[in-house]
């Protein structure tokens, strides 16, 4: 492999792309405001950035339903593509939280509101009933990778990494839904996810429990009565890979169930100007317009066109969109 082709591998470019997003709002596409919300009853703070698109709205509903469970996802992409997919104009496919690989938690709307995070054909989701009662968290991650002669390829056909970059991918002992190689998550993502789950479980009265191991990787009607933390695959029998065994479940379980938790890094955002938001209520007046409640029972298809992250060295004119149905 030449040095030049290495430069264009997706994995190597992710830190620079995420840094640009965090420091510039992806070139002013988004307004970023620091948040520091206390986790109730703990000496722990949920630090992150409220992220609102400057020119798009209607990607969530501001109606309020009792939350029964939290659904974990990976995005099957990189941060800027993830965020544009999750903030499409008047299209209710989104989640309140996205966790970047650098550990930054981006909040798109209050978790007491909702958007489509499960897909129209998810178990029990007629009239979007499960979307309304779940809180979705997206972890930025490219997901399944396909072995090719020059490395591992993303679902978009780009080379993600070489086979000699063990920090970039994980090969699991037995295939999960036909895929054996998956992009890794970062320590910062695990730490931020644990803090976020501790906040949401207390704030929304959701038990700190996970679907037990034998059913953790299965699509099961149990998910419809379970109160706690689940993942997208529990709701979707096909077309989704988030989250399977290529994820450190025991680390997250341990961190969420522990009496106390201290992330290795404290994340502050002193580079972002503006008053610090210390509650989700304080964010609500700053959110773009919600989509009309008249549309909230509307069926939807999560097959969608999404832009693909490309290295900054590649000119914008070469950016392309691809149609897939496994994102989110």
Q: By the criterion CB under 5 A, which residues form the site for Zn ion?
A: 73, 232, 242, 328
**Residue 139 near residue 75, CB atoms below 8 Å:** yes
Considering the complex, state which of residue 22 and residue 236 has its C-beta at the smaller distance from Zn ion: 236
Q: Which residue minimizes CB distance to Zn ion?
A: 73
Tell me the closest approach of the beta carbon of residue 40 to Zn ion, in angstroms. Answer: 27
Sequence-distant (6+) residues with CB within 8 A of 163 are 147, 151, 152
Give the full edge-to-edge strand order of the sheet including 169-176. 159-161, 151-153, 144-148, 179-183, 169-176
* Nearer Cβ to Zn ion (139/194): 139
**Which residue number, 45 or 189, has a Cβ lying nearer to Zn ion?**
189
Least Å distance, CB 240 to Zn ion, is 6
Taking the complex as a whole, the smallest distance from the CB of residue 257 to Zn ion amounts, in Å, to 23
Residue number with CB closer to Zn ion (232 or 267): 232
C-beta separation of 328 from 74 below 8 A: no
Peptide bond into 243 cis (omega under 30): yes
Nearer Cβ to Zn ion, position 85 or 192?
85
Least Cβ distance, residue 244 to Zn ion (angstroms): 11
The two tokens of residue 252 are 């997250």
Q: In this complex, which beta carbon is closest to Zn ion, that of residue 137 or of residue 277?
A: 137
Q: Are 227 and 204 in contact (CB under 8 A)?
A: no
DSSP 193: H
The Cα–Cα gap between 17 and 13 comes to: 6
**Whose Cβ is closer to Zn ion: residue 61's or residue 73's?**
73
Smallest gap from residue 119 Cβ to Zn ion (A) = 8
The length of the chain in residues reads: 328
CB of 196 to Zn ion, least distance (A): 16
245-250-252 Cα angle (round to 5): 100
Backbone angles phi, psi at 193, to 5 degrees: -65, -40
What is the C-alpha separation between 327 and 85, in angstroms, rounded? Answer: 9
Taking CA 81 as the corner, what is the angle to CA 2 and CA 151, rounded to the nearest 5 degrees? 25
Quick one: DSSP state of residue 294? G
User: At its nearest, how many Å lie between Zn ion and the CB of residue 266?
Assistant: 29
């Amino acid at each position: 492999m030449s040095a030049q082709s290495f430069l264009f591998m997706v994995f190597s470019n992710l830190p620079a792309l995420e840094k640009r997003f965090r420091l510039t709002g992806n070139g002013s596409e988004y307004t970023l405001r620091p948040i520091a919300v206390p986790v109730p009853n703990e000496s722990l703070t949920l630090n992150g950035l409220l992220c609102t698109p400057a020119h798009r709205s209607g990607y969530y509903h501001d109606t309020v339903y009792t939350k029964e469970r939290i659904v974990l996802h990976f995005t099957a992409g990189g941060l800027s593509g993830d965020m544009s997919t999750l903030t499409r104009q008047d299209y209710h496919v989104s989640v309140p939280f996205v966790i970047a690989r650098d550990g930054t938690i981006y909040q798109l709307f209050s978790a007491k509101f909702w958007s489509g995070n499960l897909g129209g054909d998810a178990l029990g989701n007629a009239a979007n009933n499960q979307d309304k009662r779940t809180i979705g968290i997206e972890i930025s991650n490219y997901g399944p990778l396909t072995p090719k002669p020059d490395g591992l390829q993303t679902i978009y056909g780009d080379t993600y990494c070489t086979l000699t970059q063990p920090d970039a991918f994980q090969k699991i002992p037995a295939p999960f839904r036909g895929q054996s190689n998956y992009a890794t998550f970062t320590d910062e993502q695990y730490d931020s996810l644990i803090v976020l789950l501790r906040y949401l479980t207390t704030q929304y009265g959701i038990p700190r429990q996970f679907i037990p191991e034998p059913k953790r990787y299965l699509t099961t009607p149990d998910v419809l009565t379970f109160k706690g933390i689940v993942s997208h695959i529990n709701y979707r029998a096909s077309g989704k890979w988030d989250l399977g065994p290529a994820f450190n479940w025991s680390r997250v379980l341990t961190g969420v169930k522990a009496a106390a938790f201290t992330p290795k890094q404290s994340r502050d955002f002193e580079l972002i100007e503006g008053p610090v938001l210390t509650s989700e209520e304080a964010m609500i007046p700053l959110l773009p317009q919600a989509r009309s409640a008249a549309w909230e029972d509307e069926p939807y298809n999560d097959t969608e066109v999404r832009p693909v992250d490309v290295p900054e060295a590649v000119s914008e004119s070469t950016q392309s969109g691809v149609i897939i149905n496994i994102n989110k």
